[in-house]
Amino acid sequence: MTQLTGEAKAQYVRRLFSRIAGRYDLLNSVMTGRMHYRWKSRTARLAAQGVAGDALDVATGTGDIAFRLARQPGVRRVVGVDFAPPMLSIAFRRGKTQPRGAPVAFLLGDALALPFPDAVFACVTTGFSLRNVASRERMLQEIHRVLAPGGRACLLETTPVAPCGVLPRLFRFYFHRVVPLFGLLLAGDREAYTYLPRSVEGFPPAEELAAMMQRAGFTKVSYTLVGMGTVGIHQGVKV
Ligand SMILES: C[S@@+](CC[C@H](N)C(=O)[O-])C[C@H]1O[C@@H](n2cnc3c(N)ncnc32)[C@H](O)[C@@H]1O
Protein backbone atom coordinates (compact mmCIF):
# COMPACT_ATOMS: atom_id res chain seq x y z
CA MET A 1 0.00 0.00 0.00
CA THR A 2 2.87 2.40 0.76
CA GLN A 3 3.43 2.79 -3.02
CA LEU A 4 -0.06 4.19 -3.61
CA THR A 5 -0.11 7.84 -4.58
CA GLY A 6 -2.58 10.53 -5.60
CA GLU A 7 -6.24 9.56 -5.96
CA ALA A 8 -5.49 5.85 -5.39
CA LYS A 9 -4.04 6.63 -1.94
CA ALA A 10 -6.95 8.96 -1.13
CA GLN A 11 -9.45 6.24 -2.02
CA TYR A 12 -7.60 3.61 -0.01
CA VAL A 13 -7.44 5.88 3.05
CA ARG A 14 -11.09 7.00 2.74
CA ARG A 15 -12.27 3.38 2.53
CA LEU A 16 -10.02 2.32 5.39
CA PHE A 17 -11.32 4.99 7.80
CA SER A 18 -14.89 4.43 6.63
CA ARG A 19 -14.50 0.73 7.50
CA ILE A 20 -13.02 1.18 10.96
CA ALA A 21 -14.97 4.33 11.98
CA GLY A 22 -17.12 2.54 14.57
CA ARG A 23 -14.08 1.16 16.39
CA TYR A 24 -11.67 4.04 15.79
CA ASP A 25 -12.05 5.78 19.17
CA LEU A 26 -11.86 2.55 21.16
CA LEU A 27 -8.72 1.43 19.33
CA ASN A 28 -7.02 4.79 19.81
CA SER A 29 -7.66 4.59 23.52
CA VAL A 30 -6.42 1.02 23.78
CA MET A 31 -3.31 1.64 21.66
CA THR A 32 -2.23 4.77 23.55
CA GLY A 33 -3.58 3.98 27.03
CA ARG A 34 -5.94 6.97 26.53
CA MET A 35 -2.94 9.30 26.18
CA HIS A 36 -4.24 10.52 22.80
CA TYR A 37 -6.86 12.60 24.66
CA ARG A 38 -4.11 14.48 26.50
CA TRP A 39 -2.17 15.13 23.32
CA LYS A 40 -5.31 16.36 21.59
CA SER A 41 -6.17 18.70 24.48
CA ARG A 42 -2.66 20.09 24.38
CA THR A 43 -2.84 20.60 20.61
CA ALA A 44 -6.15 22.47 20.90
CA ARG A 45 -4.85 24.62 23.78
CA LEU A 46 -1.66 25.52 21.91
CA ALA A 47 -3.47 26.35 18.67
CA ALA A 48 -6.05 28.56 20.36
CA GLN A 49 -3.78 30.51 22.72
CA GLY A 50 -4.63 34.18 22.40
CA VAL A 51 -7.06 33.73 19.47
CA ALA A 52 -10.31 35.50 18.91
CA GLY A 53 -12.27 34.01 16.03
CA ASP A 54 -13.12 30.79 14.23
CA ALA A 55 -11.15 27.54 14.42
CA LEU A 56 -10.75 24.72 11.92
CA ASP A 57 -9.83 21.09 12.56
CA VAL A 58 -8.69 19.40 9.34
CA ALA A 59 -9.22 15.63 8.93
CA THR A 60 -11.23 15.80 12.12
CA GLY A 61 -12.27 12.13 12.15
CA THR A 62 -14.68 11.64 15.05
CA GLY A 63 -14.13 15.22 16.20
CA ASP A 64 -11.90 14.87 19.29
CA ILE A 65 -9.76 17.94 18.56
CA ALA A 66 -12.71 19.97 17.23
CA PHE A 67 -14.58 19.51 20.54
CA ARG A 68 -11.49 20.51 22.49
CA LEU A 69 -11.04 23.62 20.35
CA ALA A 70 -14.64 24.57 21.12
CA ARG A 71 -13.79 24.76 24.83
CA GLN A 72 -10.90 27.20 24.40
CA PRO A 73 -11.48 30.82 25.39
CA GLY A 74 -11.66 33.14 22.38
CA VAL A 75 -12.85 30.46 19.97
CA ARG A 76 -16.14 31.64 18.47
CA ARG A 77 -17.06 28.70 16.19
CA VAL A 78 -15.36 25.47 15.13
CA VAL A 79 -15.53 23.61 11.83
CA GLY A 80 -14.30 20.02 11.48
CA VAL A 81 -13.61 18.75 7.96
CA ASP A 82 -13.05 15.14 6.87
CA PHE A 83 -13.53 13.14 3.68
CA ALA A 84 -14.79 9.89 5.26
CA PRO A 85 -18.57 10.16 5.82
CA PRO A 86 -18.76 7.40 8.50
CA MET A 87 -16.14 9.20 10.65
CA LEU A 88 -18.07 12.47 10.28
CA SER A 89 -21.39 10.79 11.20
CA ILE A 90 -19.87 9.76 14.51
CA ALA A 91 -18.46 13.27 15.07
CA PHE A 92 -21.89 14.73 14.32
CA ARG A 93 -23.63 12.36 16.76
CA ARG A 94 -21.06 13.12 19.46
CA GLY A 95 -21.59 16.84 18.88
CA LYS A 96 -25.16 16.53 20.10
CA THR A 97 -24.03 15.49 23.57
CA GLN A 98 -21.05 17.82 24.06
CA PRO A 99 -21.72 19.62 27.32
CA ARG A 100 -20.25 23.05 26.64
CA GLY A 101 -18.26 25.27 24.35
CA ALA A 102 -18.58 27.16 21.07
CA PRO A 103 -20.77 25.68 18.30
CA VAL A 104 -19.11 22.96 16.21
CA ALA A 105 -20.09 22.15 12.60
CA PHE A 106 -18.84 19.20 10.58
CA LEU A 107 -18.31 19.30 6.86
CA LEU A 108 -17.39 16.76 4.21
CA GLY A 109 -14.28 18.02 2.43
CA ASP A 110 -10.77 17.31 1.22
CA ALA A 111 -7.76 18.44 3.23
CA LEU A 112 -5.94 19.02 -0.07
CA ALA A 113 -8.60 21.41 -1.38
CA LEU A 114 -10.20 22.94 1.69
CA PRO A 115 -13.68 24.31 0.96
CA PHE A 116 -12.98 27.78 2.41
CA PRO A 117 -11.79 31.14 1.13
CA ASP A 118 -8.34 32.47 2.05
CA ALA A 119 -7.47 33.78 5.52
CA VAL A 120 -10.70 33.01 7.39
CA PHE A 121 -9.60 31.01 10.46
CA ALA A 122 -7.91 32.31 13.59
CA CYS A 123 -6.36 28.88 14.22
CA VAL A 124 -6.14 25.50 12.50
CA THR A 125 -5.39 22.05 13.92
CA THR A 126 -4.99 18.57 12.53
CA GLY A 127 -4.33 15.23 14.24
CA PHE A 128 -2.79 12.05 12.87
CA SER A 129 -3.68 12.97 9.31
CA LEU A 130 -0.58 14.26 7.52
CA ARG A 131 0.80 10.77 7.05
CA ASN A 132 -2.45 9.70 5.42
CA VAL A 133 -2.72 12.33 2.71
CA ALA A 134 -1.43 12.04 -0.85
CA SER A 135 0.54 15.31 -0.55
CA ARG A 136 1.77 16.67 2.79
CA GLU A 137 3.10 19.78 1.07
CA ARG A 138 -0.31 20.51 -0.42
CA MET A 139 -2.07 20.01 2.91
CA LEU A 140 0.34 22.36 4.68
CA GLN A 141 -0.18 24.96 1.95
CA GLU A 142 -3.95 24.64 2.31
CA ILE A 143 -3.78 25.06 6.09
CA HIS A 144 -1.58 28.11 5.59
CA ARG A 145 -3.94 29.53 2.96
CA VAL A 146 -7.09 29.41 5.14
CA LEU A 147 -5.33 30.84 8.22
CA ALA A 148 -5.75 34.55 8.87
CA PRO A 149 -2.52 36.56 9.29
CA GLY A 150 -1.29 36.11 12.86
CA GLY A 151 -3.14 32.77 13.13
CA ARG A 152 -1.52 29.61 14.43
CA ALA A 153 -1.54 26.04 13.09
CA CYS A 154 -0.89 23.03 15.34
CA LEU A 155 -0.19 19.59 13.94
CA LEU A 156 -0.35 16.45 16.07
CA GLU A 157 1.37 13.52 14.37
CA THR A 158 3.18 10.28 15.06
CA THR A 159 6.93 10.61 14.57
CA PRO A 160 9.29 7.81 13.51
CA VAL A 161 11.68 6.85 16.31
CA ALA A 162 15.44 6.71 15.64
CA PRO A 163 16.41 3.16 14.63
CA CYS A 164 18.98 2.39 17.34
CA GLY A 165 18.60 1.39 21.00
CA VAL A 166 16.23 -0.85 22.94
CA LEU A 167 13.23 1.48 23.19
CA PRO A 168 12.83 1.91 19.40
CA ARG A 169 12.98 -1.88 19.02
CA LEU A 170 10.23 -2.23 21.61
CA PHE A 171 8.13 0.41 19.84
CA ARG A 172 8.59 -1.32 16.51
CA PHE A 173 7.51 -4.62 18.03
CA TYR A 174 4.49 -2.88 19.54
CA PHE A 175 3.51 -1.07 16.33
CA HIS A 176 4.06 -3.99 13.96
CA ARG A 177 2.97 -6.98 16.07
CA VAL A 178 0.70 -5.78 18.86
CA VAL A 179 -1.21 -3.00 17.06
CA PRO A 180 -2.34 -5.26 14.14
CA LEU A 181 -3.50 -7.79 16.74
CA PHE A 182 -5.59 -5.13 18.47
CA GLY A 183 -6.96 -4.22 15.04
CA LEU A 184 -7.95 -7.83 14.41
CA LEU A 185 -9.46 -8.42 17.85
CA LEU A 186 -11.21 -5.08 18.40
CA ALA A 187 -12.04 -3.89 14.89
CA GLY A 188 -11.98 -7.20 12.97
CA ASP A 189 -9.55 -5.48 10.57
CA ARG A 190 -5.96 -6.56 10.75
CA GLU A 191 -5.09 -4.92 7.42
CA ALA A 192 -6.08 -1.43 8.56
CA TYR A 193 -3.95 -1.72 11.65
CA THR A 194 -1.02 -3.05 9.63
CA TYR A 195 -1.24 -0.01 7.34
CA LEU A 196 -1.25 2.46 10.23
CA PRO A 197 2.17 1.54 11.71
CA ARG A 198 3.65 1.31 8.19
CA SER A 199 2.46 4.81 7.41
CA VAL A 200 4.40 6.08 10.45
CA GLU A 201 7.67 4.72 9.11
CA GLY A 202 7.38 6.54 5.81
CA PHE A 203 6.75 9.79 7.64
CA PRO A 204 9.53 12.42 7.98
CA PRO A 205 11.17 12.98 11.38
CA ALA A 206 9.98 15.95 13.47
CA GLU A 207 12.85 18.19 12.35
CA GLU A 208 12.01 17.59 8.69
CA LEU A 209 8.32 18.27 9.22
CA ALA A 210 9.27 21.58 10.85
CA ALA A 211 11.28 22.44 7.72
CA MET A 212 8.30 21.51 5.52
CA MET A 213 6.12 23.90 7.55
CA GLN A 214 8.62 26.67 6.95
CA ARG A 215 8.63 25.94 3.23
CA ALA A 216 4.81 26.17 3.26
CA GLY A 217 5.17 29.72 4.61
CA PHE A 218 4.91 29.31 8.40
CA THR A 219 7.13 31.27 10.76
CA LYS A 220 8.00 30.72 14.44
CA VAL A 221 7.89 26.98 13.78
CA SER A 222 8.62 24.78 16.79
CA TYR A 223 7.70 21.35 18.08
CA THR A 224 7.49 19.23 21.23
CA LEU A 225 7.74 15.48 21.42
CA VAL A 226 5.35 13.56 23.67
CA GLY A 227 4.52 9.88 24.12
CA MET A 228 8.15 8.98 24.85
CA GLY A 229 9.24 10.64 21.62
CA THR A 230 6.75 8.83 19.38
CA VAL A 231 4.41 11.78 18.79
CA GLY A 232 5.16 15.36 17.76
CA ILE A 233 3.12 18.52 18.26
CA HIS A 234 4.28 21.12 15.73
CA GLN A 235 3.19 24.71 15.67
CA GLY A 236 3.70 27.59 13.28
CA VAL A 237 2.33 31.07 12.72
CA LYS A 238 1.18 32.77 9.50
CA VAL A 239 2.56 36.27 9.17
C1 LIG B 1 -6.02 8.78 11.94
S2 LIG B 1 -7.53 9.64 11.60
C3 LIG B 1 -7.40 11.04 12.67
C4 LIG B 1 -8.73 11.58 13.10
C5 LIG B 1 -8.68 12.71 14.14
N6 LIG B 1 -7.98 13.87 13.61
C7 LIG B 1 -8.01 12.24 15.41
O8 LIG B 1 -6.95 12.78 15.74
O9 LIG B 1 -8.55 11.34 16.05
C10 LIG B 1 -7.19 10.33 10.03
C11 LIG B 1 -8.39 11.04 9.44
O12 LIG B 1 -7.94 11.77 8.31
C13 LIG B 1 -8.98 11.72 7.34
N14 LIG B 1 -8.37 12.06 6.05
C15 LIG B 1 -7.33 11.46 5.44
N16 LIG B 1 -7.05 12.07 4.28
C17 LIG B 1 -7.95 13.08 4.15
C18 LIG B 1 -8.16 14.08 3.16
N19 LIG B 1 -7.42 14.15 2.06
N20 LIG B 1 -9.15 14.97 3.37
C21 LIG B 1 -9.93 14.91 4.47
N22 LIG B 1 -9.78 13.99 5.43
C23 LIG B 1 -8.79 13.08 5.28
C24 LIG B 1 -9.51 10.29 7.46
O25 LIG B 1 -10.78 10.16 6.89
C26 LIG B 1 -9.50 10.11 8.97
O27 LIG B 1 -10.71 10.48 9.55
Please report the pLDDT score of residue 201 as a whole number.
76
Please report the pLDDT score of residue 69 as a whole number.
98
Between the CA of 69 and the centroid of ligand 1 the distance, in Å, is 17
pLDDT tens, position by position, 58-76 = 999 999 999 999 999 999 9
Q: In the structure, what pLDDT confidence band is assigned to residue 41 with cuts at 50, 70 and 90? A: very high
Q: In the structure, what pLDDT confidence band is assigned to residue 1 with cuts at 50, 70 and 90? A: very low
Considering the entire predicted model, what is its pTM?
A: 0.93
Output the residue whose Cα is nearest ligand 1's atom 12: 59
| CATH architecture for the domain at 6-159+204-237 | 3-Layer(aba) Sandwich (3.40)
Across residues 4-31, what is the average pLDDT? 90
Please report the pLDDT score of residue 176 as a whole number.
79
Please report the pLDDT score of residue 21 as a whole number.
94
Please identify, by atom number, the ligand 1 atom nearest to the C-alpha of residue 21.
27
Kindly list the protein residues whose Cβ atom lies closer than 6 A to any atom of ligand 1: 10, 13-14, 17, 59-61, 64-65, 82-84, 87, 110-112, 127-129, 132-133
Please report the pLDDT score of residue 55 as a whole number.
98
Please identify, by atom number, the ligand 1 atom nearest to the C-alpha of residue 111.
20
Mean pLDDT of the chain: 91
Between the CA of 191 and the centroid of ligand 1 the distance, in Å, is 17
Q: What proportion of the chain, given as a percentage, has pLDDT over 70? A: 98
Cα separation, 107 vs 110, in Å, equals 10
Across residues 219-231, what is the average pLDDT? 94
pLDDT tens, position by position, 88-104 = 999 999 999 987 899 99
Please report the pLDDT score of residue 162 as a whole number.
72
Q: In a mutational test of the pocket of ligand 1, which residue from 38, 129, 193 has the highest number of ligand atoms less than 8 Å from its CB? A: 129
Please report the pLDDT score of residue 100 as a whole number.
82
Please report the pLDDT score of residue 179 as a whole number.
78
Please report the pLDDT score of residue 226 as a whole number.
95
pLDDT tens, position by position, 138-192 = 999 999 999 999 999 999 999 887 766 777 777 778 777 787 777 777 777 777 7
Output the residue whose Cα is nearest ligand 1's atom 4: 61
pLDDT tens, position by position, 124-153 = 999 999 999 999 999 999 999 999 999 999
Residue 193 has pLDDT above 80, yes or no: no
Between the CA of 166 and the centroid of ligand 1 the distance, in Å, is 31
